[in-house]
Structure 1
Amino acid sequence: MQDSYDLVVVGSGAAGMAAALTAHHLGLSVLIVEKTEYIGGSTAYSGGATWIPNNPHQLEAGAAEPRSNAMTYLQAEVGNHGRPDLWESFLDAGPKMVRFMEDKTHLKFSMRPVAPDYHPDQPGGALGHRVLDPLDFDARVMGEKLALIRPPIREFTVFGGMMVGRKDIPHMFSMLRKPASALHAAGILARHAKDKLTRGRATRLVLGSAMAGRLAHSVFEAGIDLQTRSAAKELLTEEGRVTGLLLDTPDGDQRVTARLGVVLAGGGAARAKVLDDVLHPHAQHYSMSPEGSTGDSIALAAPLGVRVAEGNAAPLFYAPVSLIPQADGSVRPFPHLFLDRAKPGVYAVDGTGQRFVNEAASYHDFVRAMLGNGPGRAPEGSVWLLADHATIRRYGLGAVRPFPAPMGGHLRSGYLKRGRTLADLAAQIDVPAQALAETAARVTGFAQKGEDPDHGKGSTAYNRYLGDPELGGANPCLGPLARGPFYAIRLYPGDIGASVGLPIDPEARVVTPEGQPVPGLFACGNDANSIMGGTYPGAGITLGPALTFGFIAAHTAAGKPLPTG
């Protein structure tokens, strides 16, 4: 590490690496500093989805849409919680960012032709084409540097660390019923076994791990300096301009000059203790963000008169979690994102034994409902997710895998509750037996008719996208809760990141409460206040803006215009 660069980037997630790679290709000398031992931040934990309307793959597929469509959708979804000038900047630069990444780095994408926005019935909502996924990455090319990539969440892997991508999931569900799925599963299992034997860890990276790996490989190949275990302690300034950083490194404090400025991309404040009252007003809350997401980088801007933005619809990007007991008495949160809640035969009840939400709603919407003032909601917002025996063996439930995976360990630990009858299960989860029986009878009737008049499960394209179309019937999200034994898992409020952060302008410059840019200071990723204003319009609305505003920040710092076209 030198003591002087053109640009210093705090954080090594997608936003930080996007800023660094763009700056490098614009001719700047760049340093990335990362306070943890791993590269990848919350990107490595994520699903990797990237929301970019009118992205190049969408155009190549002949599915171009008027830009006004996305603006209309954002206005309907975000409303007064967001800023149209930031949306315009994002919609303009996003496709250019994708083209740059695919031309100049190892980050490559595929497009989801079918991937409904989370509220596709809103004006401007789309049924597909806006979401990109990183291509799987063969990380053997990284050699020993693979060890620097943040490992995936343990419960998101199978067979001792094998990662499972979106395209693998249907095959894993069907491998005992379909020869093609069995062949696919056997192939990735064989690859994983060889990796474990020869390298000690998985080298087939998927989802967010693939994005983190592809970006990191690009950083290393470009020769960009990257320093781990180095925390930013203080912004250095001269006459009001940010000119560098004071770092806490393994070798002690070190001052680094940043001629053109500093980019804050440190992962946000989901675990910031000083913001507990704002982020977690309920009694219990569990974050899926990495341990480094403590808001340190955001706090660096406070002496310059910058405050965390206010007015978001929610301070966090919510997700329900269940708690997996560990041998040492601790628990590990498991996020219930899209694998179980929308499936037919899976229902959620509160302490009254009654449903309170459309279970197929987005994870953000689900927790918003959990935190509502329902009569059966415990102070911490906890609820129960239910399934009967046929359902849990077909789809799994939370950390419980589908058949043929055993469930005995989860039963013994108390993570999974089982009752021979609904009355037995009601006693175990402390809800009224009569109410639970009535709920089960009611949803079983809905399944026969294919319609849920109570909460609308399966009523939108997004709901049905996550259901089980193979099951047949009028509604792929509705199934019976009828034949025992019956099962339940307790859910708590959780998050996958903070939406609150530093206010920025359309050029990714951090601004004061008066709207004045702080010279030499930029923010992107979760360190910047979400352009979605604490709403969650669709898959990839964190990574899309993160990559894009990292791309914008580098151009602003370099004094270069964005590419045309």
Structure 2
Amino acid sequence: MQHALTKVGPDYDVVVLGAGAGGMSAAIFAAMEGARVLLVERTEYLGGTTSYSAATTWIPLTRHAQAMGADDSRDKVSGFLDRAVGNHSSKSVRDAFVAAGTGVVDALEDKTDVKFRARPFHPDYLYELEGATSFGRALEPLPFDASALGKDLHLIRPPIPEFTILGGLMVDRDDIAHLMRIGKSAKSTAYSARLIGHYYLDKIRQGRGTRLVMGNALIGRMLLAARKLGVTILTETEALAFTTGPDGVTGVTLRQKDTERQIHVTGGLILASGGFARHPTMRADKLPQPLPEFSPSAPGHTGTLHDLAFTAGAYHGDTAAQPCFWAPVSHRKRADGSMAVFPHFVFDRSKPGIISVGRDGRRFVNESTSYHLFVSAMYAANKDGSHVPTYLIADAAALKKYGMGMIRPGGANIAPYLADGYLTEAATLDELAGKLGIDAAGLNDSVARMNAYARSGTDADFARGTTVYEKANGDPTHGPNPTLGPLETAPYYAVKLWPGDIGSAIGLVGDENAQLLRRDGSAIPGLYACGNDLQSIMGGVYPGPGITVGPAIVFGAIAARHAARRAVAARKGDAA
């Protein structure tokens, strides 16, 4: 289990603050360099927002891309990022990521329990740009049998309940495909029976499922790797102050409950706390109005480490196109009184028979675009307050076939969602508009136009379903356009969508080694950042799946190696 602060030694080569994918990567790579490593997490769980996510990991040019025959190259990747991101981030830092990524994946897979796979079809979001690919760059963690973790299993932040079934069974896209065919396929029925049976046995033995997928699988694998490498792990521990001097940052004061301790750091302090977005004043200063009320991210990214970094001379970047990465979200109060915040990534917005409108009842965006661009469009259209919230509209056929938000495909047992107002139902479009307080004429016109587009296969208003990425998010069995379908089967339904931030794009400015910089361009010795604490190389643009997790892992590794080698140099100096 984790150590108590009173048992932690006073000296470490590398201290990592934050235990999401970036922080775990930093701890692992520092330990692989032979450093004495302390990993500190301020909450009770490891994993950060990564543990909530699918943990798709955008790292181009890996062995997985080569094995699948991806036609890719460093020039193609760099050109794609140049066109997507441009001057919103440092090209030299982007290029450092591209150059290091494949070696980071190789080291993780060759030397630790971290394993990835690539899908034969997982396209970049900005597929219309030259240099985009349909597969090879986006990796995902292999499912993980966490029984090897023992009691450490309970250190991993549990997934979002609404993304599980049966009170905690985690499922990925392969599982969902089988579960949807129960009773229709002998193979899928047997597969699902094994999956569910093992889950209930795990619940009895361990208190939760031991088969981890997606973000939980990545964090579980990283935790096992960190343990094997001898990383010391603290939870429920916060950083109070940095020790600085002529040699830069040389230590940190930690507090765990009522115990404080000064830790001396010979190589470096790596910030990996998830960004500023829950900081009470930075959030209000940097995010647009109306300020997003709901975030599906984990609670640890308070931004307090940024305040400490500022005292050491660090600063925030100001070139990002958006301050955060976005996803539209719906929300609903759970039975225990907590708030469920559900991100609408790809499962409903771009399916046939579903559209999104503002209070004027009219479509304002290509619904099959990325979740980041969807919210950007919400804010762009909201000058008169008419598009926060927006409304996801479906007919009965679409709701049953695809689900909507927290309502799963099949549309069974929607009564509780109607009762608490999460879902709105009406016999006609006019009635639905009246219940929602939106313009009925606009809604009727939007539906009539979509019904015509569904027949022709061409969205004359927003060109929905024209790129490879957009088509991938539709229904491959539906034609002529997999994203366009009529809304003509009563009753009609609506779910309100709100802006939700899923990670900071603005962060502390660093160099190619993930060292933090002063405004004069000089590096702050001993101070590094990765993940959302580091100014995003994507510059507030979302060019592909996994563009937060991939760079977090790579820059965690880059920072760790630099800090560990700095510690070695310091030890040699002491010996001399």
Q: TM-score range by the shorter chain?
A: over 0.9
Q: Does the 8 A contact of 1:270 with 1:289 survive in 2? A: no
1:157 Cα deviation from its structure 2 partner: 1.0
* Structure 2 letter corresponding to 1:66: S
Where do residues 415-564 of structure 1 align in structure 2 (5 Å cutoff)?
415-471=422-478, 473-559=479-565
Per-residue CA deviation, residues 393-416 of structure 1 (Å, 9 max, x unaligned), is 111100011226421111111100
Aligned-partner Cα distance in 1 for 2:253–2:546: 33
* Structure 2 letter corresponding to 1:319: A
Does the alignment pair 1:40 with 2:47? yes
Unaligned runs of 5+ in 2: 1-7, 567-576
**Residue 82 of structure 2: aligned partner:** 75
* Structure 2 letter corresponding to 1:552: I
Per-residue CA deviation, residues 498-541 of structure 1 (Å, 9 max, x unaligned), is 11111010011111111111001111011101011111110011
Q: Does the 8 A contact of 2:454 with 2:481 survive in 1? A: yes
| More displaced stretch, 167-176 vs 248-257 | 167-176
1:66 Cα deviation from its structure 2 partner: 2.1
**Residue 358 of structure 1: aligned partner:** 366
The alignment partner of 2:381 has SS state of: coil
Per-residue CA deviation, residues 74-100 of structure 1 (Å, 9 max, x unaligned), is 111101101110111001100000000
1:320 Cα deviation from its structure 2 partner: 0.4
Structure 1 pair 164/112, CA: closer, same or farther in 2 (3 Å)? same
Aligned-partner Cα distance in 2 for 1:329–1:350: 29
**Residue 31 of structure 1: aligned partner:** 38
Structure 1 pair 257/199, CA: closer, same or farther in 2 (3 Å)? same
The alignment partner of 1:106 has SS state of: coil
Where do residues 258-273 of structure 1 align in structure 2 (5 Å cutoff)?
258-273=265-280
| More displaced stretch, 208-217 vs 162-171 | 162-171
Aligned-partner Cα distance in 1 for 2:317–2:105: 28
1:176 Cα deviation from its structure 2 partner: 5.7
Structure 1 pair 425/176, CA: closer, same or farther in 2 (3 Å)? farther
The alignment partner of 1:116 has SS state of: coil
Per-residue CA deviation, residues 294-322 of structure 1 (Å, 9 max, x unaligned), is 11122221112211111110000001000
**Residue 141 of structure 2: aligned partner:** 134
Q: Does the 8 A contact of 2:313 with 2:517 survive in 1? A: no
Q: Does the 8 A contact of 2:127 with 2:133 survive in 1? A: yes
Aligned-partner Cα distance in 2 for 1:277–1:172: 45
Residue of structure 2 aligned with 1:331, choices 317, 333, 339: 339
1:384 Cα deviation from its structure 2 partner: 0.3
The alignment partner of 2:359 has SS state of: coil
The alignment partner of 1:557 has SS state of: helix
TM-score, normalised by the number of residues in structure 1? 0.96
1:175 Cα deviation from its structure 2 partner: 3.9
Does the alignment pair 1:292 with 2:300? yes
1:171 Cα deviation from its structure 2 partner: 3.2
The alignment partner of 1:117 has SS state of: coil
Aligned-partner Cα distance in 2 for 1:323–1:165: 22
Where do residues 193-232 of structure 1 align in structure 2 (5 Å cutoff)?
193-232=200-239
* Structure 2 letter corresponding to 1:363: Y
Structure 1 pair 108/345, CA: closer, same or farther in 2 (3 Å)? same
Aligned-partner Cα distance in 1 for 2:256–2:336: 32
Q: Does the 8 A contact of 1:352 with 1:375 survive in 2? A: no
Aligned-partner Cα distance in 1 for 2:182–2:398: 16
Where do residues 20-419 of structure 1 align in structure 2 (5 Å cutoff)?
20-175=27-182, 177-275=184-282, 276-327=284-335, 331-373=339-381, 377-378=385-386, 381-403=388-410, 405-419=412-426
* Structure 1 letter corresponding to 2:541: T
Aligned-partner Cα distance in 2 for 1:241–1:284: 37
Structure 1 pair 16/331, CA: closer, same or farther in 2 (3 Å)? closer
Aligned-partner Cα distance in 2 for 1:495–1:104: 35
1:327 Cα deviation from its structure 2 partner: 4.3
Per-residue CA deviation, residues 262-291 of structure 1 (Å, 9 max, x unaligned), is 111111112111211212432443122211
Per-residue CA deviation, residues 119-170 of structure 1 (Å, 9 max, x unaligned), is 1110111111111000001111111111110011111111101111132233
Aligned-partner Cα distance in 2 for 1:399–1:19: 35
1:442 Cα deviation from its structure 2 partner: 1.4
Aligned-partner Cα distance in 2 for 1:174–1:481: 26
1:240 Cα deviation from its structure 2 partner: 4.4
* Structure 2 letter corresponding to 1:307: Y
1:375 Cα deviation from its structure 2 partner: 7.0
Structure 1 pair 181/404, CA: closer, same or farther in 2 (3 Å)? farther
The alignment partner of 1:184 has SS state of: helix
Structure 1 pair 375/503, CA: closer, same or farther in 2 (3 Å)? closer
* Structure 2 letter corresponding to 1:233: L
Q: Does the 8 A contact of 1:287 with 1:497 survive in 2? A: no
Aligned-partner Cα distance in 2 for 1:53–1:388: 40
Aligned-partner Cα distance in 1 for 2:495–2:86: 35
What is the aligned-residue RMSD (CA, Å)?
1.6
* Structure 2 letter corresponding to 1:413: D
Aligned-partner Cα distance in 2 for 1:124–1:62: 16
1:187 Cα deviation from its structure 2 partner: 2.9
Unaligned runs of 5+ in 1: 561-565
* Structure 1 letter corresponding to 2:370: S
Identical pairs, percent: 42
Aligned-partner Cα distance in 2 for 1:308–1:271: 16
Q: Does the 8 A contact of 2:332 with 2:340 survive in 1? A: yes
Q: How many residues are paired up?
A: 558
